[in-house]
Amino acid sequence: MSRVLGDWLDAYLKYTENTEPCELYRKWCGISGIASALQRKCWLDFGRYRFYPNLYIFLVGESGETRKGTAMEPIIGILEDKEVRKHIHFASECSSRAGLVRSLGNSEATSISELGTLAVKHMSLTILNTEVAVFMGRNDTDMLDTLNDWYDCKPHWNYNIVSRTEKPLEDVWVNILGGTTPELLQGMLPREAIGGGFTSRLLLIFTDTIGKIVDLPFLTNEEVELKTKLIHDTLELCSLVGEFKIDDQCPEFPEIWSAWRHTERERRSIKDRKFASYYGRKPATLLKLSMILSASRGSSMKVNDQDLLRAIALLEEAEVEMPGALAGMGRSTYADILPYVMKEIAFRKQCNFSHLQRKFLPEVTSRDLDSVLETLTRAKFCSLLENGRIIFNPDFDK
């Protein structure tokens, strides 16, 4: 077989265009779909390090308002096609660490390249869950520690089973696409995990709105045909086995990479310290994503400068709204209400204390609201006038 689409991700965005979720959600669902097909049978050697195309992607937004589940439905439909399912192993709906370990152990497979010159053994598992917080449980540190270990695709992973003996899992690989709300995300993660560990491995794709309203969500003949082509090319992605390499016909790649590495700290758009560890892993994430984007445009298994530039652009686009996913996660008693007060002040530009008190009365006391406003004025987010008027500072964070 050969590809019938010019670029898988572009075609997927066209296929999902007549749906309500925002384009950002739809892009990252497509990216996760490509990763699910590549699995641990594909990799990129970059100097001393080897990278595999797995990502932990969480779509974050308010329940019922941002269409997280709707965003995931098309990619689930493609990956669960009866032919595609023969090549991809999915986690069960269980929410226990032991059940997840069993799912990974049952995923053992040997993938053989088209010419039969390479056979790769691996355990590759995809987790698709529209309510990932329910799947993972609340403050389940064992589950989080296990997923932390699996993210880096260890060649050997030992775990204790009921009999207290150890059984190794070999060549593990796990890819996650899940949906959750900011509140459920906060319940899922212990306070000490915020800003490190598991959150450093997450791509938090956040929005607080839908993309558009679609009155008649019926598939057109063109979209039905496009889905058939996407399934065809997904099977082609599943057939890829072996090493992705930096395209030696693109000498710009190392120059772009080096320039980005030396200016990356100055380019950081998120100042929140909770994302410091995310940025620490960003170079590795870029290489994973570049591999995925190379596979999206063809089966050459060559990563070029355009793949890298596209990966940089995709991550920087996601980072604009990413802090909203962890807004309210802090150690102060009013941390959870702080981002909502900020949003209200920024929206109104001017308001008074009594307006905020009425709006947030069920959630915050007057004393806590005083503390919130003191924090915001010290940060120069707003000014508090003597008459009680609150004025938003449009130059905040510039």
List pLDDT tens digits, range 232-264: 999 999 999 999 999 999 999 999 999 999 998
Asked if residue 374 and residue 322 are part of one domain, the reply reads: no
Range of the domain at 378: 338-392
For residue 173, being part of any structural domain is answered with yes
Asked if residue 350 and residue 292 are part of one domain, the reply reads: no
CATH number at residue 363: 1.10.10
Asked if residue 272 and residue 155 are part of one domain, the reply reads: yes
pLDDT of the residue at 193 = 67
Q: Is the dihedral of CA 158, 164, 165, 169 positive or negative?
A: negative
Asked if residue 373 and residue 262 are part of one domain, the reply reads: no
Asked if residue 188 and residue 136 are part of one domain, the reply reads: yes
Asked if residue 366 and residue 242 are part of one domain, the reply reads: no
Show the 3-state SS of the chain: CCCCCCCHHHHHHHHCCCCCCCHHHHHHHHHHHHHHHHHHHEEEEECCEEECCCCEEEEECCCCCCCHHHHHHHHHHHHCCCCHHHCCCECCCCCCHHHHHHHHHCCEEEEECCCCCCEEEEEEEEEEECCHHHHHCCCCHHHHHHHHHHHCCCCEEEEECCCCCEEEEECEEEEEEEEECHHHHHHHCCHHHCCCHHHHHEEEEECCCCCCCCCCCCCCHHHHHHHHHHHHHHHHHHCCCEEEEECCCCCHHHHHHHHHHHHHHHHCCCCCHHHHHHHHHHHHHHHHHHHHHHHHHCCCCEECHHHHHHHHHHHHHHHCCHHHHHCCCCCCCCCCCHHHHHHHHHHHCEEEHHHHHHHCCCCCCHHHHHHHHHHHHHCCCEEECCCCEEEECCCCCC
Residue finishing a domain among 269, 294, 326: 326
Residue 83, both tokens = 């032919």
pLDDT of the residue at 163 = 42
pLDDT of the residue at 218 = 93
CATH number at residue 312: 3.40.50
| Residue 349, Ramachandran bin (φ over 0: left; ψ between -120 and 50: alpha; else beta) | left
User: What is the C-alpha to C-alpha distance for residues 178 and 77, in angstroms, rounded to an integer?
Assistant: 15
For residue 1, being part of any structural domain is answered with no
Tell me the whole-structure pTM to 2 decimals: 0.84
pLDDT of the residue at 160 = 63
CB 56 within 8 A of CB 201: yes
pLDDT of the residue at 138 = 79
Looking from the CA of 222 toward its CB, the CA atoms found within 13 Å total: 7
Asked if residue 373 and residue 270 are part of one domain, the reply reads: no
Asked if residue 374 and residue 249 are part of one domain, the reply reads: no
Asked if residue 300 and residue 379 are part of one domain, the reply reads: no
Report the number of distinct structural domains present in the chain. Answer: 2
List pLDDT tens digits, range 157-203: 987 654 444 568 999 999 999 999 988 888 888 766 676 688 899 99
Asked if residue 176 and residue 72 are part of one domain, the reply reads: yes
Q: Report, as ranges of residue numbers, the positions in the chain whose pLDDT lies below 70.
A: 1, 94-95, 160-167, 191-193, 195-196, 328-335, 362-363, 397-398
List pLDDT tens digits, range 291-321: 999 999 999 999 999 999 999 999 999 999 9
For residue 27, being part of any structural domain is answered with yes
The residues pairing with 176 across neighbouring beta strands, listed in sequence order, are 56, 127
pLDDT of the residue at 165 = 47
